[in-house]
Amino acid sequence: MSGHELEAHGAPQTHGPEEHTHPSPRRYIEIAVVLGIITIVEVFVLYLPNMGFESFRPFLVPIFIVLSAVKFVTVVGWYMHLRFDEPFFRWIFGFALLIAMTIATAFIALFHGIYF
């Protein structure tokens, strides 16, 4: 048994069935590329109304909400390893995301005179 297989107190490491292997560095780079592409799409969508697509303006907020939610889920799922944790933690983060999006949408509606 090598020194890498021993914990600090000398006991062999055991891996329970609930433990996971961490993704490879290549997977993290792939995720970063996907997040970068989503960011490029967000910037492109932001400039669409200025490029002659004025009728596209009402769809900006819903598109940004969806893209932001995808980025949020990707970051907390992979970089914070939430996808490997208990489902309860996913519910907590999901509920917090729902509350944040509701508040943001309410402020956008309030300050732009949109009433539901």
- Can you give the residue ranges of every domain in the chain? 20-111
pLDDT for position 56: 81
Q: What global pTM score does this model have?
A: 0.65
Phi and psi angles of residue 33, each rounded to the nearest 5 degrees, phi first: -65, -45
37 and 30 Cβ atoms separated by less than 8 Å: no
Least Cα distance to 111 among 45, 42, 103, 98 occurs for 103
- Look up residue 71 and give its DSSP letter: H
pLDDT tier, 20 (very low <50, low <70, confident <90, very high otherwise):
low
Q: How far apart are the first and last CA of the chain?
A: 66
Q: How far apart are CA 66 and CA 54, in angstroms?
A: 20
- Tell me which of 5 and 105 has the higher pLDDT: 105
Average pLDDT over residues 57-81: 86
pLDDT for position 115: 63
Per-residue pLDDT at 12 exceeds 60: no
Cα-based distances in Å from 88 to 51, 57, 71: 44, 37, 20
